[in-house]
Amino acid sequence: MLPCLTKKLFGFDCMGCGIQRSIHLIFQGEFTEAFYMYPAIYSLIALFIFIGINFFFKFKKSNLVISFLAIISVATIIISYIIKTII
């Protein structure tokens, strides 16, 4: 796995720490552990899948769905980062 540059230089986790390990856990079939490693992984996967599908098949309310998924993903990333730094 690639080391986190922020953690290596400054000594603390960044908001993306855990995403590589989470993806690795998904490929191993450990879905619950992947969520615990990086809680935003499933909302990010849904976002990227929807963007990919929308690239080929245009939907009427696609901007609304993409905005919703992006807000959910960013909120989950920020909240989980705050919880991780407090605990």
| 21-37 tens-digit pLDDT | 999 999 999 999 999 99
Output the pTM of the full model: 0.85
pLDDT value at position 74?
96
> Do 35 and 42 meet the contact criterion of CB atoms below 8 Å apart?
yes
| 37-50 tens-digit pLDDT | 999 999 999 999 99
